[in-house]
Structure 1
Amino acid sequence: MNEFKAKVYQTALTQLKQKEALLTEERKNIIESILEEEKNSAGDKYETGRETMTQDLVNIEGQLKQGKLDIEELYRLQTIKETPPSVQEGALIKLGNDWFLIAISIGQVKVDDTKVFLLSKNSPLGELLIGKKKKDQVNFRGKMHLIEELV
């Protein structure tokens, strides 16, 4: 695997794991707050506060579940070692001046002062890129973009 591509995967995985750790801590704090509320409160105010915290907890647990799926998907795609003949999941593409990794939609990571955008194959740009080859052009948002690199 290309060294830069390996760094992109490692940076993305590190970022996802950091987010997971923050969400886990936040989840723990909410659970502690719910338990504390049970000891100290009664009445409508208690019910409203507890409901809000419960909704927050459900939201965080959903984010944690998605984060675990994203990490698993990145590990799966990282096992693809050879350069693909055309754009597919796991491909790193230089489109004009921008780098894109077709993987999961988590936005931008910075690797060696280079911005790399992680996007899903099902995103609008991802769908345009799938199946294209190096030196092909794609029309995205009214502009033509050349695939300069495919790793």
Structure 2
Amino acid sequence: MKELKAKVYQTAIDQLKQKEKLLAEERKNIIESILEEEKNSAGDKYETSREMITQDLNSIEKQINQCKFDLEEIYRLNTIKETPPTVQEGALVKLGNDWFLLAVSIGQIAVDGSKVFLLSKNSPLGELLVGKKKKDQVNFRGKMQMIEELF
């Protein structure tokens, strides 16, 4: 199962790198749009258009920064190699039939045909799981579910 955990981390890293690449390309396109708008300036219409483009650029910059932060966090957590005695940040947990990695909230990824949900330790489910041991139960989705595996 340690190889599953390694694959989960690698898949998350690959997805974050791809997202970062796409966001960088989008940022480049927005900057080109800004430069093109400057050539075709026409009063109030120009100012409105430029403001909208600037807001788009700011949004992309925030997403890029979050992506970089998430990537750094995944790299940091991937250095933890021992199986923890209790659920903590960096742990891969099987709760019922679902797999969860307590890392960063980037959603669901597919690894070897299995769905794995990456969530923060500060998420509602993350807070329920932290400190629990294998075979402990938590109330998730309205029913008690057992922690089947912990890596």
TM-score under structure 2 length normalisation = 0.98
Aligned to 1:9: 9
Partner Cα separation in structure 2 for residue 149 and residue 17 of structure 1: 28
Partner of 1:75: 75
Q: Does 2:64 correspond to 1:38?
A: no
Residue in structure 2 matched with residue 142 of structure 1 by the alignment: 142
Q: CA deviation at 1:42?
A: 1.9
Match of residue 130 from structure 2: 130
How many residues are aligned here? 151
**Structure 2 unaligned spans of 5+:** none
- Structure 2 CA distance, aligned partners of 1:81 and 1:8? 13
Amino acid at match of 1:109: I
Amino acid at match of 1:106: I
Deviations along 1:97-123, one digit per CA (max 9) or x if unpaired, are 000000000000000000000000000
RMSD of equivalent CA atoms: 0.9
1:40 CA drift (Å): 1.1
In 1, distance between residues paired with 2:18 and 2:53?
Answer: 23
Distance 1:2 1:11 in 2: 14
- Unmatched 5+ residue regions in structure 1? none
Task: Report the Cα offset of residue 142 of structure 1.
Answer: 2.1
2:82 is paired with a residue whose SS is coil
In structure 1, the residue corresponding to 2:100 is in which secondary structure?
Answer: strand
TM-score (norm. length: structure 1): 0.98
Shift of 1:141: 3.5
Structure 1 runs of 4+ off > 4 angstroms? none
Seq. identity, %:
79
What's 2:104 paired with?
104
